[in-house]
Amino acid sequence: MTFRSYESHPKPALNTKCRGAVTDIVGAAYPGLPFNFMAYADACKITQCGAGEGAEEGVSLLKRFSVALLGIRVKSKEKCDKGYGMTLSTIEVLGDLDACMGGLYPEFRAYSPFSAIGPQTEALLSAKRFTTIMESDLHFVRHLFRQPDKFDATSERPMIVIGGDDLVETEVLMAASNDGLQVQISDERNIYKGRPLEVQIPDGVFSARTRAGGLAWLQQLYTWLLKTRALKMVVVHDDYRYQQADAARGLACFFVPDYARIFADPGGTATLFRASHVASLKDSTKRDIDPGVMLDDASLRYSAWTVYADKATGLSYAVIVDNTGAKNAKQLAHSEGNEERHSSVFCQMYDGMAPARAVHVAYLVVMDKTTVKSALPVGIRDVQSQQGDSVAALSAMVQMPGEVDVADIFD
């Protein structure tokens, strides 16, 4: 997106009321730039996108990792010359979206995880392709990147997107305090190798109950997604904390699953199960699951397809889905409220989950040529049952994934 500014009015008395002539292009902006705006209450209206008249407004709508539409305007050429050429005029918070949704991240990436952040920013700030009246395309907003009094210091905080193929040497670990997940990167090329990374789970991605007590399940889910290369990781860079490699708190990061890759043409990559696979699958799930079983209409009870086959290890990663349709949990005295929702396609199944939150029962499988090594039970979100309600904040503990009895959860 390119921008034009305006000259000061030729009559000084009218400078605060009128604008002068329109300038040529002063600069450009593109995805991935780490702007640092100040939103002043009297000059920037903060609203919920799509909310009706009389709805809540103000800074209380903003949460960490919120997704929003920003209304921006270009300031005068005088301000552009000084590096403050853009300001916020409106913020429309998109309450049904969160930072873990894959469609928010274009293939083009302003930053790479394979070289220091400071020099990358300096290269961006010096690039000149569109402007004809400024030193570079980002000269007019340079102080929205870095503090003017410490312009040589790396104070910007870009979001570094790391693709699934570059996360092969990555592990998801339980924090020593058992109250969160951490990421350990072993790739020698990656600048975050050996740096502590703290996994963030924004509100609304999973149910509050999963976020509070389902860390073991989340660890297994993220590990399976990493192995299939169907996952991006986004690191929120903070150079001050990055330089403190031994800091107790690590850099914030979060995962963005690639569901298009997981569900891409499953009919073309069907998984073949031997008798030994079926036996070990039943043992892993504690259920009588046989991918070869037929329903009364002669269709298969289960669908199964391979997402990724690792030739180096001989392991395959597959999805098994129960074809009998979406299921709703039983109504219990301790059931969650029906307003509880989640944006993730995969969710945890547990006793007391919201009855209105319908899911398709599935298993994420790891197998070799003869044996199913593991099978993580997951629910695949039924889209129709998720519409119309916002995410509520509930909290409760939940049993470990291995103790889930799917038959006891659903009617």
pLDDT in tens, 272-321: 788 888 888 888 887 888 888 888 888 888 888 999 999 999 999 999 99
pLDDT (mean) for 195-200: 91
pLDDT in tens, 205-217: 998 889 988 999 9
Mean pLDDT, the chain, integer:
85
CA–CA distance, 90 with 113 (Å, rounded to integer): 32
Q: What percent of the chain has pLDDT over 90?
A: 46
How many angstroms separate the CA atoms of 376 and 362, rounded?
Answer: 8
Q: Rounded CA gap, 141 and 2, in Å?
A: 12
Closest to 186 in 3D by CA, of 206, 200, 205, 166: 166
Domain count for the chain: 3
For residue 338, give Cα distances in angstroms to 51, 152, 354, 386, 394. Answer: 21, 52, 5, 10, 11
Out of 8-12, 35-39, 211-215, 403-407, give the one with best mean pLDDT.
211-215
Query: If residue 243 lies in a helix (H) or strand (E), which one and from where to where?
Result: helix 239-243
Q: Does 225 lie in the same domain as 90?
A: no
Same domain, 102 and 197: no
- Reading the block at residue 3, the tokens are 């921008």
What are 111-160's pLDDT values in tens digits?
999 999 999 999 999 999 999 999 999 999 999 988 888 888 898 999 99
- Which pLDDT value is given to residue 408? 57
Instruction: Indicate if the pLDDT at residue 28 is higher than 80.
Output: yes
Q: Are residues 226 and 365 in the same domain?
A: no
Among 127, 150, 173, the domain boundary falls at 150
Q: Are residues 219 and 102 in the same domain?
A: no
Whether 131 and 70 share a structural domain? yes
pLDDT at 359 over 80: yes
Q: Domain boundary residue among 101, 126, 150?
A: 150
Q: Give the DSSP letter of residue 143.
A: G
388, 356 contact by CB (below 8 A) = no
The pLDDT score that the predictor gives to residue 389 is 38
Compute the average pLDDT of residues 175-184: 90
Q: Tell whether 138 and 81 lie within a shared domain.
A: yes
Same domain, 271 and 254: no
Helix (H) or strand (E) segment spanning residue 223: helix 215-227
Residues 6+ apart with CB under 8 A from 385: 326, 328, 356, 357, 358
Q: Which domain holds residue 393?
A: 266-409
What is the C-alpha to C-alpha distance for residues 154 and 141, in angstroms, rounded to an integer?
16
Same domain, 224 and 144: no
**Do 189 and 286 belong together in one domain?**
no
Q: Are residues 284 and 183 in the same domain?
A: no
Q: Which of 258, 283, 306 delimits the end of a domain?
A: 258
Statement to judge: residues 337 and 307 lie in one domain: yes
Other Cβ atoms within 10 Å of 390 Cβ, number: 10
Please tell me whether residues 8 and 130 are part of one structural domain.
yes
* b/e code 130-155 from CB counts within 10 Å (16+ = b): bbebbebbbbbbbbbbbeeeeeeebb
